[in-house]
Amino acid sequence: MADVAAKERKILVAVDEGEESMHALTWCLKNVISENSKGTLVLLYVKRPRAVFTALDGTGYLFSADIMAAMDKYSNDVAECVVEKAKKMCKDLRDVMKVETRIEHGDPRDVICEMTEKLGADVLVMGSHGYGLIKRALLGSVSNHCAQNVKCPVLIVKKPKSIATNN
Amino acid sequence: MADVAAKERKILVAVDEGEESMHALTWCLKNVISENSKGTLVLLYVKRPRAVFTALDGTGYLFSADIMAAMDKYSNDVAECVVEKAKKMCKDLRDVMKVETRIEHGDPRDVICEMTEKLGADVLVMGSHGYGLIKRALLGSVSNHCAQNVKCPVLIVKKPKSIATNN
């Protein structure tokens, strides 16, 4: 038990703007990583592609290039901000595991699965996206999709609010 | 990190006849539990209800009471055997965490969720049932259902075979 717990592991944590992904990271730091842990913690943020309807409507160009550039900048700033926040939360790991950050672009469902394989993660940690019934039916849950498609173990951490409200 | 890792936790591992649940238990023992862990590991086996068509067909009683009793005995024996096997796998935990076993009866999807809440588990660990597309469409995946419905974090561990075969 103890010997193997000390082997090098690559833990991939998918982070986003939501509280639930930060809770997932916190839970992982407290419950999966111990003083004996070794290896790398990778913080992955996936920037969603800009929805097409923000660039065009039936009449042609709705938004100017300036506005599009501003939106891209905002999206980049959010990504940096989330990753920085997540990195700060891992500051106590400094002597235990390496912490790496990655910002990728695309549909989170696909990119998280691809990066899990590409990086050879030993475990994928993520929040459970709290979509309602309709949104989940249309989009599918990111965590469900990943749990079905990645080959390594997946740890899905619910946001704590649901613990408090659901009795 | 280290302080909190040493707090008492209740880890619920759902076990069944399949290799994948035993792999999930092994992975949990190696990666989630460390020398500093405290608390209880609960091994839960859920006996599925006997399918109705095994007792009756259109002509009336297909199976005698003796056969039904033999089938029940077999089902109980399997449950005991699985739980004993899982318990043996946890023998190194003796000085670290308490190990408890539970055998319950019902639809695994519901019972696993109910027991997770009832026991106040901090994390649910389970294999990812390797249903094919059709069976999954009809029955739904046990792990997906649990990931969506329990409030605590859920760790879904794939069976290693899929790692080797899926390239």
Nearest Cβ partner of A36 from B34, B158, B163? B34
Instruction: Please list every residue in chain B whose beta carbon sits closer than 8 Å to the beta carbon of residue A24.
Output: 153
Q: Is B67 a domain residue?
A: no
Within a domain: A100: yes
Complex ipTM over 0.85: no
Instruction: Among B5, B151, B166, select the one facing A31 at the smallest CB separation.
Output: B5
Residue A155 lies in a domain: yes
pLDDT at A140: 61
* Domain span including residue A111: 7-50+82-165
- Residue B129: pLDDT band with limits 50, 70, 90: low
**Domain tally for chain B?**
1
Q: What is the mean pLDDT of chain B?
A: 81
Q: How confident is the model at residue A20 (pLDDT cuts 50, 70, 90)?
A: confident
One-letter-per-residue 3-state SS of chain B: CHHHHCCEEEEEEEECCCHHHHHHHHHHHHHCCCCCCEEEEEEEEEECCCCHHHCEECCEECCCHHHHHHHHHHHHHHHHHHHHHHHHHCHHHCCCCEEEEEEEECCHHHHHHHHHHHHCCCEEEEECCCCCHHHHHHHCCHHHHHHHHCCCCEEEECCHHHHHHCC
CB–CB contact B33 A1 (8 Å): yes
**Does residue B16 form part of some domain?**
yes
Rounded mean pLDDT of chain A?
81
Q: What is the pLDDT of residues B2-37, one digit of tens each?
A: 444 467 899 999 999 888 889 999 999 999 888 888
Q: Which residues in chain A have their CB less than 8 angstroms from residue B131's CB?
A: none
Which among A120-129, A145-154, B41-50, B110-119 has the top mean pLDDT?
A: B110-119
Is residue B14 situated within a structural domain? yes
Asked if residue B148 is part of any domain, the answer here is yes
Is the pLDDT assigned to residue A100 strictly greater than 60? yes
B68 falls within a domain: no
Question: Is the CB of B152 less than 8 angstroms away from the CB of A158?
Answer: yes
In a domain, A19, yes or no: yes
CB contact under 8 A, B30 and A4: yes
Q: What mean pLDDT do residues A43-47 have?
A: 94
Which CATH number fits the domain that encloses residue A91?
3.40.50.620
Inter-chain touch A1–B92, beta carbons under 8 Å: yes
Mean pLDDT on A93-113: 92
